[in-house]
Each structure stands twice: as structure tokens, then as C-alpha cells.
Chains A and B, each alone.
Chain A
Amino acid sequence: MFIEIEPDSAVPIYLQLAQQIMEGIARGELAPETPLPSVRAFAADLGMNMHTVNKAYHYLEEKKMIEIVPKKGVFIHANAIRSASTEEKARMEEELRPILAEALCLQLNREELAGMVEKMVREIREGSE
């Protein structure tokens, strides 16, 4: 799977990395237990600091999307595809809240929002932006 990073984007590079890996998992392209490149190799491919990759990996590890096994490597979490726990639902709500607040300010109605979600789910599944 190809990861495409835009160095000049407003989105931090570690987030671009994490988000694209997450999309890969959601799409099924990165199946559970698939190995990911080592921090050093990934950073070399990017031509960027290892710190950036580390940050992305820890971000994903915190979300239980990947597993960092010492001395063995980095893998997609065996339970990356799972039903959300109560805490995970609560965290998602918390993260969605400011976005919904902005949407309400911009007077998006429920249908429009539902349509947006529909469209994005389709895009993630098909693997296009």
C-alpha cells in the first residue's frame, strides 16, 4: 500500500501517516497482524526524522490500531477491526463534538451531514480521496 504525504500541508506529517494507515486498515488493505516497516526504514523512505514516524506509531498504538512488539517489529493490531468499547465510543464522541459544533454554526442540516458521512465511507472503502 502506498502512503502519500504532503510535506507542505497544514496537517502535521505524523497525523497524515497515522490517518492513511488507519484508512488502509478500514479498507481491509492492511489486514490485522500485517507487518509495518520499522521506524528507521519508514523514516528513511520518507527522508524525514525518525521522531515523526515514532509519533505516528505511538498515536496508532494508543488507539490500539497497531502493536509495537519489542525486537520483533510493528504490526497491525490483531483486534484492529473490533466493536468499539464504551470508552472508545466516548472518545469518538468527544473528538466529533467540536466538528459538529462547527457544522451547526455553518447551518449544515442532518441530511447534509448524513450525506457527507455516506460519501466519505464510500471513499475510504474505495481508497480515493
Chain B
Amino acid sequence: MTIGLMVFIMVLLAAVQAFMPYLVKATEVFGIYVPEPHYRQEFLVRLKKNYSRLVLAGGLTSVLFYALAVNLLHIPEGQGVIWGVGLQLGIVAFSMALYFKNHLTVKKEKQQQGWVLGKKEKVIVDLQFRNDLEMVSGIAFLLPMLITVGLIALTLTLYSQLPDKIPVHWGADGQADRFSEKTIFSSISMPVILLIMQVLFYFMNQARKTSGSKISATQKAQSRKRELASRKYGSWLLFVTSISVTLLLGSLQLSLIYPELGGALWVMAMTIGFAILVLAGTALYTVKIAQFASSPAAGQSESGIIDADNDRHWKAGIFYVNKEDPSIMVEKRFGIGWTVNLGNPKSWVMVFLPLAAILLIAFLVK
């Protein structure tokens, strides 16, 4: 079952990575801004196609070998999962290496052909943009936190009834396989981690509300719709993720308090349900956003006008570093979803504070 899930995730991962050039904005080719009409060049079309073929071939070959090896060599499930995760990382690393090679190629070509030379750069701002935002409200993100606080209170009230060993890790079979001494801290460590994640989701949602809209100078209406959609569906995806994490960790905590509630099967079902919910949400988000990427309204662009070339702020086309921009989160250039503005100190706080807190708790409980 878990191996099946591993294979499924691997296939999905390879497919998403392979089709990434077609899921992102047409004017951002391998993390480089390519203005109209240059992004239609035969050279770039071929570059994208080759990338997709290579990633798909590499990914599917490794999936095939993995499935065969696990079945023929009778590798135990726990080990199979480790190999699976390793291979998934391998697929990502392989596609990123290819990406980076193409990134450099496009960058060089852009300089040599002078795609932005002599063009007038324009930055577009819609004064009404934030009035038309349809995002999940911050209050909705606060609601799951109530569940967590309730769970913490419940755990502390029933503290004397808790088992002497607090499970802190579960194996692939859903069976708890690592335990910690029973202390007040270890008994509530999981809901505390959950609370940190919920707070993080709340702030991520707020950060997207204030994130700068990137409206294209040559396709104002179309790109405006896309910007609104990426915020709306991104916010929903974040909300679904918050709810799923709450359900998963909340039910684990409940099974600690009421051992008769959750056996190994229960843990496995919750984990798989969690994975399916988050994957389905991500898939839906991707489909919704990709609609806008694949339909650039051609031929209505004013000649000589291009968007502001922000390449200098995108290190390797992946890391956004802009000290001037007060945005904390921005949409990725090459990839689905959002990334942080590393030029803004608040982004560092948002990334490292929860990470440090969770690692500290994990360390203390161990």
C-alpha cells in the first residue's frame, strides 16, 4: 500500500516537473523573463520540449526500476519507503539540474539577442486590485487553532490517564516505533507543533494578501485575472492544507488520549487521507492556474513595450531577493506556488522562526 503510494507520488512528481515549463507564465522561460514575441521562438519551444522529454524519461525509468526492485528483491516496506523518498529527491535534483542548464542557456541567448534592448519597460498597478481579491479570511485560519488549544487542554486534564510512553514517531505500517518519556511537555509536543504550523499558515495567507500583483503591461486584463486566481486558489489550498494537518495531527493526539480510538490502521488511513487531500488540492490549484499560463492572448500587444525586467532580483530564477519590495511572499517563477522574498527580513523570520521552534521541540522531546 505505502509502496503503491510511493510509486504514485513518484509518477506525479516526474510528470509535474516535466510539464513545469508549460505550467508557468509563458513569458518566464526557465526563470528568465522573455518578452513578447520572443518567447514563441523555435529555439525556446525546442528547449522546453527536450527538457520535458528528458525529465519524463528519467523519472519513469527510475519508477520502473524502483517498482521492479522492490517486488523482485523483497525489500521490506520500511526500507522501500526510504528508497522511494530518496528516488523522489533524485527526480527533483535531476530536473533542477536540467532546469539550471537551460536557465543559463536562455540567459545567454537573451543577452546575445538583446530581447529587452531599446524597449520601454512599464510597471502596471491596478488601484482596484485588492478590492477584487477573493481570499479565505484570516479568521477561518484561526478556527483550526481552537481545536488545537482544546486538544492541549484535554491532554493536560487527562494527563494522569495517559500511557507512560508517548509515541513520537510512526513507521510506514502506522505502528508507533519511537517513544518518549511521559512528561507534560512531551505529552503536548505534537499539538504545540500543530499550533506553530497553523500560525505559519495564517501568516502565509496574510502575506499573500499583501503580496505585489504582477500585471503584465501587454496583457493587462488577462494577467490581472491570473494574479487574482493565483491568490484565491492559493489561499484555498493553504486552508485545505491547514485543515488536513489539523485532522492528521489532531487525530494522532486523540489516539494518545483514547488508545482504543486509533490503531495502526487508523494512523495509516489518516496519513494516506492527508496525502490525498493535499495532493488533490495542489493538483486543482495547478490546473486552475495553468489555464492562464497556456492561453496568452496573442497579437494585441503594443509594440516596443515590455514588462519591467526583474531578472536581477531572481537569483538563478528561483530565489527572489528584492530589498525594495515590501512583499513577503511572491509567486514562483519556475514552479507551482509561492516563495519568499529573501530581501525582506520579515521573510527570514517567517521561514526560520517556526522551523527553529519545531526543531527545538523535536530535540527536547527526544
B127 adjacent to A43 (CB under 8 Å): no
User: Of B122, B127, B128, B214, which is in contact with the most chain A CB atoms at under 10 Å from its CB?
Assistant: B127
B215 adjacent to A2 (CB under 8 Å): yes
Q: Is there a chain A Cβ closer than 8 Å to B132's Cβ? A: no
Smallest CB–CB gap between A51 and chain B, Å? 9
Give the residues in chain B near A43, CB-CB below 8 Å. 212, 324-326
Give the residues in chain B near A44, CB-CB below 8 Å. 210-213, 325-327
The answer, among B127, B217, B327, for a CB contact under 8 Å with A36, is: B127
Q: Is there a chain B Cβ closer than 8 Å to A37's Cβ? A: yes
> With the chains together, A104 CA to B308 CA distance in Å?
38
The answer, among A4, A36, A41, A50, for a CB contact under 8 Å with B122, is: A4
Give the residues in chain A near B325, CB-CB below 8 Å. 43-44, 47-48
Q: Is there a chain B Cβ closer than 8 Å to A6's Cβ? A: yes
Q: Which of B321-364 contact A (CB under 8 A)?
A: 322, 324-327
Smallest CB–CB gap between B51 and chain A, Å? 28
> With the chains together, A25 CA to B142 CA distance in Å?
39
Give how many A residues have a beta carbon under 8 Å from the other chain's beta carbons. Answer: 25
Smallest CB–CB gap between B329 and chain A, Å? 10
> With the chains together, A48 CA to B323 CA distance in Å?
9
A3 adjacent to B125 (CB under 8 Å): yes
Smallest CB–CB gap between B159 and chain A, Å? 44
A8 adjacent to B121 (CB under 8 Å): yes
B310 adjacent to A2 (CB under 8 Å): no
Smallest CB–CB gap between B332 and chain A, Å? 16
A7 adjacent to B308 (CB under 8 Å): yes
Smallest CB–CB gap between A4 and chain B, Å? 5
B123 adjacent to A37 (CB under 8 Å): no
With A43-B326, A47-B310 in contact, do A5 and B123 touch (Cβ < 8 Å)?
Answer: yes
Smallest CB–CB gap between A64 and chain B, Å? 19
Give the residues in chain B near A1, CB-CB below 8 Å. 126-128
Q: Is there a chain B Cβ closer than 8 Å to A62's Cβ? A: no
Output the nearest chain B residue to A36 by Cβ-Cβ distance: B127
Q: Is there a chain A Cβ closer than 8 Å to B261's Cβ? A: no
Q: Is there a chain A Cβ closer than 8 Å to B108's Cβ? A: no
B125 adjacent to A5 (CB under 8 Å): yes
B324 adjacent to A48 (CB under 8 Å): yes
> With the chains together, A46 CA to B213 CA distance in Å?
8
Q: Is there a chain B Cβ closer than 8 Å to A40's Cβ? A: yes
The answer, among B125, B210, B220, for a CB contact under 8 Å with A40, is: B210
Q: Is there a chain A Cβ closer than 8 Å to B366's Cβ? A: no
> With the chains together, A6 CA to B131 CA distance in Å?
25
Q: Is there a chain B Cβ closer than 8 Å to A94's Cβ? A: no
> With the chains together, A12 CA to B327 CA distance in Å?
22
Output the nearest chain A residue to B221 by Cβ-Cβ distance: A2
Output the nearest chain A residue to B209 by Cβ-Cβ distance: A41
A45 adjacent to B128 (CB under 8 Å): no
> With the chains together, A47 CA to B121 CA distance in Å?
13
Output the nearest chain B residue to A35 by Cβ-Cβ distance: B131
Give the residues in chain A near B123, CB-CB below 8 Å. 4-7, 46-48
A2 adjacent to B124 (CB under 8 Å): yes
Smallest CB–CB gap between B73 and chain A, Å? 53
Output the nearest chain A residue to B313 by Cβ-Cβ distance: A47
B104-121 vs A, Cβ < 8 Å mask (1 yes, 0 no): 000000000000000011
Smallest CB–CB gap between A109 and chain B, Å? 33
B210 adjacent to A41 (CB under 8 Å): yes
Give the residues in chain B near A35, CB-CB below 8 Å. 131
Output the nearest chain B residue to A39 by Cβ-Cβ distance: B326
Q: Is there a chain A Cβ closer than 8 Å to B129's Cβ? A: yes
Output the nearest chain A residue to B211 by Cβ-Cβ distance: A44
> With the chains together, A5 CA to B305 CA distance in Å?
12
Q: Which of B118-161 contact A (CB under 8 A)?
A: 120-131
A6 adjacent to B121 (CB under 8 Å): yes
Give the residues in chain A near B322, CB-CB below 8 Å. 47
B120 adjacent to A6 (CB under 8 Å): yes
Give the residues in chain B near A40, CB-CB below 8 Å. 210, 326
| 20 A–B pairs (Cβ distance < 8 Å), ordered by A | A2-B126, A2-B127, A2-B220, A3-B124, A3-B127, A4-B124, A5-B124, A8-B120, A8-B121, A37-B130, A44-B211, A44-B213, A44-B326, A45-B125, A46-B125, A47-B214, A47-B308, A47-B313, A47-B325, A48-B325
Other 20 A-B pairs with CB < 8 A, given A35-B131, A47-B123: A1-B128, A2-B220, A3-B124, A3-B125, A4-B217, A5-B122, A5-B123, A6-B122, A6-B123, A7-B308, A21-B127, A37-B127, A37-B130, A41-B130, A43-B325, A44-B212, A44-B327, A47-B322, A48-B123, A49-B324
